[in-house]
Amino acid sequence: MSGRLVPVATYATRSEAEIVQSLLESAGIDAALSADDAGGAYPFVLSGGAHVLVDEADVEAASELIASPPDEPSGQLEGGST
């Protein structure tokens, strides 16, 4: 991350924010978390939620990825039938 970090989403729990952080990072978008929970020591004491932050240059791509619906399952498991 080289630019200014800006929030792209806020979640009620750190766990939800970490899932989105992982989704973004799997798409090649660096992401960070900001939460008022003592670094995860008090995960249920979030006064302002858990914020997902990205570089300002990645805001549009990150927002689109977060807003997009999850991929549809193919209906077929590997090695099995539908």
Give the residue with greater pLDDT, 4 vs 78. 4
Contact indicator for 60, 9 with CB cutoff of 8 Å: no
- Is the predicted pLDDT of residue 73 greater than 60, yes or no? no
pTM: 0.74
The candidate with the shortest Cα–Cα distance to 4, out of 56, 49, 52, is 56
Stretch 31-53: mean pLDDT: 76
- Is the predicted pLDDT of residue 38 greater than 90, yes or no? no
The length of the chain in residues reads 82
From the candidate CATH numbers 3.30.160.270, 1.10.8.350, 3.30.420.40, 3.30.70.1530, the one assigned to the domain spanning 5-66: 3.30.70.1530
Residue 39 pLDDT = 62
Residue 48 pLDDT = 76
Average pLDDT, the chain: 82
Residue 66 pLDDT = 94
